[in-house]
Amino acid sequence: MAPPTTLNAAPLDIVEVNQKGVKHQSELAPYQSIVTPSSISTIPIINLHGLDDPSAKASIIKAIDKACTDWGLFLVVNHGIEESTIEEMLECVKAFFTLPLEEKMKYMARDLTIPVDYISQPNGTSREVLRHQGRPTSDEIILLWPSKPSNYKDAAKAFLEATWRLAMRLARAISKGLGKDEGYVEGTMEDGFQALGMGPHTDQCHMVILTDNVDGLQLKHIGKWVTVPNVPGALVVFLGTSMEKASEGRYKAAEHQVMVNEKTARISLGSGQWD
């Protein structure tokens, strides 16, 4: 099945939250316990090396299936995306958010169906969001992406194409974990545009692949908020409500929230919100 090709397919959400944010975790989860893992092994970390090797594939699929069943979220290492691809994208994002306001305002849209949108929310938690279509990476779509910094379009294209390839590998593995044909999950994907949240929420999508520069993401697990560790070289994968539906309830959408770091600006790159 070909990747989604409509205007709103697989958006890229980029968020910067500055240091003038939430001062206390209780402001985000006043009635919930918050747990910081004593070790990074608390949340599943899955090594994808060997996923394409018939001798190792079954054990990796089993690990992914268990993570999806128990957590709805896991980290992946040896995922095949070059660190330089991620770093260049992060640097471009930092450069974009430091542009003069009038330059960033060129991308502000009032309609969520617009393929590029810049949002600034200065009150409360200070947050800036740049959202634009991620698939397909055709010349017509790329033309609409930010022109500054000058290498933004090339960096975003490389990042999006790499995360799409990873997502398709994961979709095939998840399909097999469900006891279905490899193309099952991809076949349930539809095009769509998903709004970004900060407080406790689940995403109305199949999965999101996320990279963060600092800690801040928290997952609700067995009634408690667990801090997702920032592991060098790892990407975070979490499931949305569409995957919960596709799995007929076997997997649960990851309810998550973001806690603002008081000292360090947080930049998140979220790719692959396939509805």
Q: What is the pLDDT of residues 203-222, one digit of tens each?
A: 778 888 888 766 778 889 98
- Which pLDDT band holds residue 111 (cuts at 50, 70, 90)? low
pLDDT of residue 25: 37
CA 5 – CA 228 distance, rounded (Å): 32
SS3 173: helix
Choose the weakest-confidence range: 129-138, 150-159, 239-248.
129-138
- What is the value of pTM for the model shown? 0.78
Q: Residue 154 has what pLDDT?
A: 94
From 273, 269, 272, select the one nearest 86 (Cα to Cα). 269
CATH code of the domain covering residue 142: 2.60.120.330
Q: Considering the domain boundaries, does residue 193 fall inside one? A: yes
In percent, the amount of the chain with pLDDT more than 90 equals 36
- Whole-angstrom CA distances from 57 to 19, 48, 141, 146, 182 are 42, 9, 36, 39, 13
CB 71 within 8 A of CB 254: yes
- Per-residue pLDDT, 136: 66
- Give the pLDDT score at 23: 31
Give how many domains the chain has, as a whole number: 1
What pLDDT score was predicted for residue 213? 63
Query: Is 70 exceeded by the pLDDT of residue 234?
Result: yes
58 vs 46: CA distance, rounded Å: 13
- Residue scoring higher pLDDT (260 or 170): 170
Residue 24 has a pLDDT of 35
> pLDDT by residue (tens digit) across 15-32?
554 443 333 333 334 334
Tell me what pLDDT residue 109 has: 62
Asked if residue 6 belongs to a domain, the reply is no
Is residue 3 situated within a structural domain? no
Domain containing 160 equals 11-271
